[in-house]
Chains A and B, each alone.
Chain A
Amino acid sequence: MQDSLKSTSYQQLEQKSKYTNMFLRWFLYFILILFASYFIFPLYVMVVTSLKTMEEIRQGTLLSWPSGLNLESWAVAWGGRGYGAGDTFLRPYFWNSIKMVVPAVFFSTFIGAMTGYVLTKWRFKGDQWVFLFLLFGCFIPFQAILLPMARTLGVLGISNSVIGLVLVHTVYGIPFTTLFFRNYYISVPTELVKAARIDGAGFFKIFFKILLPISAPIIVVTVIWQFTQIWNDFLFGSTFSFGEAAPIQVALNNMVLSSTSVKEYNVDMASAIIAGIPTLIVYVLAGKYFIRGLTSGAVKG
């Protein structure tokens, strides 16, 4: 008797907790989807706005669907309207950014790999201090180096040029690339290197034959991190370049701010998407590596 009583109340309890659980599940999904819409909202608005005509923008709301696939503002953002003065468009600046990003990513990654290799596999007295010395470079607010950098670029005759920006981004990327490679190589067994040294392999041979072949993941992380940082940079770009040498983020900002009589929001949004699409594609294709870089290097902000 007692036993059966117990079991019914237990069943009731279980039934009840099932309902609470179901309710909690729904609540959970509701909150998660609510936040997802908050995060997706600006992207959605950017895309639909870029596809509308100005007339549609004035008539409709932020969320309203475009009447058709109107790519005109994209064409204007990328290639201009075809008249001379005051016609700014992104194409040349997009190429500036490519010309800046490719060498800067290559050099900073290469230097970081070498430095990380020495710091972990050819250790010397005080190497920890050298690491700390380099690491601190991740944290400095760049405002503290802007003035002397501007003068240095002037003295070197490369201010307002893509080459100048390559130099700047290479140098200030080194602390991060070193951090990535050092933390990766430190988990590679040193015995491997020692054995190779006994066999007579030299410094570079060990790097290229033993470490480089297993470095693919960290190279991907580093390249993605550097690419995203340099592509998205605005501070250096806007301080050390203007006019024709400007990278795309600076050009985008100038385009949006330029006060023509009529503000063309559709062109602005198309421009913003064009400036954001390369890093967005990388993120979607290689999100895992992007997040790995982010969690170990995000101190830069």
Chain B
Amino acid sequence: MFKWLEKNLPKIVMAPAVGLIGWFVYGFVLWTLYISFTNSKILPKYELWGFGQYEKLWASRKWLIAVDNLLIFTALFLIFCVVIGIILAIFLDQKIRAEGLLRTIYLYPMALSFIVTGTAWKWILNPTLGIQKMFRDWGFEDFTFDWLVDREMAIYTIVIAGVWQSAGFVMALFLAGLRSVEDEIVKAAKIDGASLFTVYWKILLPMMRPVFFTSFVILVHISIKSYDLIVALTQGGPGISTTMPALYMTQTAFHKSQVGLSAASAMMMFMAVAAVIIPYLYSELRRENAR
């Protein structure tokens, strides 16, 4: 008995973690999947109902708006975060004075919650007392910046705040990538007469492919899950114009008590994340095994 215990001690120590994740992650996802095939309203029902909830979901105007917003947000969020991140990383890589301080400034938003930063942006973007008033007081009397309360434009305020929060992080990833490149490569290229621009454009950036890939996966992942920022900044409004899937899911579940429908929307999000993450995990594992 004691011998058995000793031999299996490592596995016994592992057991809680595996059990908790098995139950709370895999078990729960399966439960949600099952519920998405039932006609559950306030309370879960367990008779199968087929794809009815998914049909309802994709016929819902609000869900379509949410998906639309997600696409707009993801595209802009990706482009701006990556472009700003790369520019900052390359510029910081030029033996800059006070690099540490600048890096700290670029990255501090990552330490704050989206609720905190959303509150700040909401105040800055509000038309009556925020940026709009600032410019008007400065003499630009026709200056208008009321995206926050404009149905068409409100989604872009979420992009502004989201990029502000995450661009520094892309900078950190690229800076780490650039610093890991051997100096010899850059020196050799310079001796061959390559300009600094050529060195970055033709040699270093192509070497950063894994960093591009990682940033892409992480940013898409952040945008699919975005919830807090929208709650803090617009609550999905004006109207329902800035709804996104994560917000749709919680509202449908906890305000409208449409458990089956919200489970279906959760599964759609799950699949979207899986479509990005599984290839990523696969390639990461292959890289690790190749080492």
Q: Hey, which chain B residues are within 8 Å of A299, CB to CB?
A: 217-218, 221, 277
Whether a CB of chain A sits under 8 angstroms from the CB of B21 is yes
Contact A294 B91 (CB under 8 A): no
Q: Tell which of B25-33, B50-58, B183-191 binds the partner.
A: B25-33
Checking A112, A253, A269 against B231 with a beta-carbon cut-off of 8 angstroms, the contacting residue is: A253
* Residue tally, chain A, CB below 8 Å to B: 89
Contact B134 A301 (CB under 8 A): no
Q: Is the CB of B116 within 8 A of A275?
A: yes
B285 within 8 A of A: yes
Measured between alpha carbons, how far is A43 from B28 in the docked complex, in Å? Answer: 39
Q: Given A203-B13, A291-B172, does the pair A239, B250 have CB atoms closer than 8 Å?
A: yes
Residues of B within 8 A of A61 (CB): 133-134, 137-138
Q: Which of A8-16, A79-87, A129-137, A156-164 lies at the binding interface? A: A129-137
Which of the candidate stretches A65-73, A98-106, A210-218, A278-286 sits at the interface with the other chain? A278-286
B1 contacts A by Cβ under 8 Å:
no
Q: Say yes or no for B82: interface residue by CB 8 A criterion.
A: no
Distance A231 CA – B265 CA, assembled complex (angstroms): 27
B109 within 8 A of A: yes
Closest to B172 in A: A291
B129 touches A276 (CB 8 A): no
A287 contacts the other chain (Cβ, under 8 Å)? yes
Closest to B223 in A: A301
Question: Min CB distance, A130 to chain B, in Å?
Answer: 6
Q: Decide yes or no: A252 and B116 within 8 Å by CB, A42-B121, A130-B14, A235-B228 being known contacts.
A: yes
Minimal beta-carbon separation of B234 from chain A (angstroms): 11
Interface contact B172-A295, CB-CB below 8 Å: yes
> What is the size, in residues, of chain B's interface with A at 8 Å between Cβ atoms?
92
Please judge, given known A-B contacts A39-B108, A133-B21, A279-B112, whether A143 and B249 are in contact too, CB under 8 Å.
yes
- 0/1 string, B251-279, CB within 8 A of A gives 1: 00110000100110111011001100100
Give the tally of cross-chain contacts (CB within 8 A): 254
Choose one: A28, A62, A145, A301; the contact of B225 (CB below 8 Å): A301
B16 an interface residue at 8 Å Cβ cutoff? yes
The verdict on A232 contacting B113 (CB below 8 Å), with A132-B285, A135-B281, A268-B123 known, is yes
* Chain B contacts with A in 107-154, Cβ cutoff 8 A: 107-117, 119-124, 129-131, 133-134, 137-138
Once bound together, how far apart are the Cα atoms of A46 and B121, in whole Å?
Answer: 9
In the bound complex, residues from chain A placing their C-beta under 8 Å from that of B267 are 144
> Which residues of A lie under 8 Å from residue B235 when comparing CB positions?
257
Contact status of A174 and B270, CB under 8 A, knowing A132-B281, A280-B108 = no
A276-B116 in contact (CB<8A):
yes
**Residue contact A202 to B111, C-beta cutoff 8 Å:** no
Assuming the A-B contacts A139-B221, A142-B225, are A253 and B232 also in contact, with contact meaning beta carbons closer than 8 angstroms in the complex? yes
Chain B CB within 8 A of A196 CB: no
Q: Do A287 and B249 touch (CB < 8 A)?
A: no
A45 to chain B, nearest CB (A): 6
Please, what's the 1-or-0 string for B1-14, where 1 marks a CB less than 8 Å from any CB in chain A? 00000100111011
**Contact present for A36 and B130 (CB under 8 Å):** no
Q: A134–B169 contact, CB under 8 A?
A: no
**A149 with B24, Cβ < 8 A, contacts A234-B114, A272-B119, A280-B108 known:** yes
Q: Which residue of B lies closest to A256 (CB)?
A: B119
Q: For residue A279, which residues in chain B have a CB less than 8 angstroms away from its CB?
A: 111-113
Q: A275 and B28: CB pair below 8 A?
A: no
8 Å CB contact of A28 from B11, B96, B138: B96
In this assembly, does B59 line the interface, its C-beta being within 8 Å of a C-beta of chain A? Answer: no
| Residue B84 CB within 8 A of the other chain | yes
Cα–Cα, bound, A225→B158 (Å): 25
CB interface residues, B 220-242, toward A, < 8 Å? 221-222, 224-225, 227-228, 231-232, 235
Q: Mark A254-289, 1 if CB is under 8 A from B, else 0.
A: 001100000001001101110110011011100100
Known contacts A145-B28, A146-B249; A234 and B231 CB within 8 A of each other: yes
Please tell me if the beta carbons of B107 and A291 are within 8 angstroms of each other in the complex.
yes
Interface: A184 (CB within 8 A): no
Chain B residues within 8 Å of A298, by CB: 169, 218
- B221→A171 contact, CB < 8 A: no
Contact of B120 with A239 in the complex, beta carbons under 8 Å: no
A66 to B106 Cα, complex, angstroms = 25
A38 CB within 8 Å of chain B: yes
Q: Does B124 lie within 8 Å of A39, measured CB to CB?
A: no
B53 to chain A, nearest CB (A): 13
14 new A-B contacts, CB < 8 A, other than A111-B16, A301-B222, are A32-B102, A35-B106, A36-B105, A42-B121, A62-B134, A141-B266, A143-B225, A147-B262, A203-B6, A234-B231, A249-B113, A273-B116, A279-B113, A295-B173
What are 18 A-to-B residue pairs whose CB atoms are below 8 Å? A39-B105, A42-B121, A46-B123, A112-B17, A118-B14, A130-B14, A132-B281, A134-B18, A140-B29, A148-B32, A172-B24, A232-B115, A256-B122, A272-B115, A276-B116, A279-B111, A283-B111, A301-B225
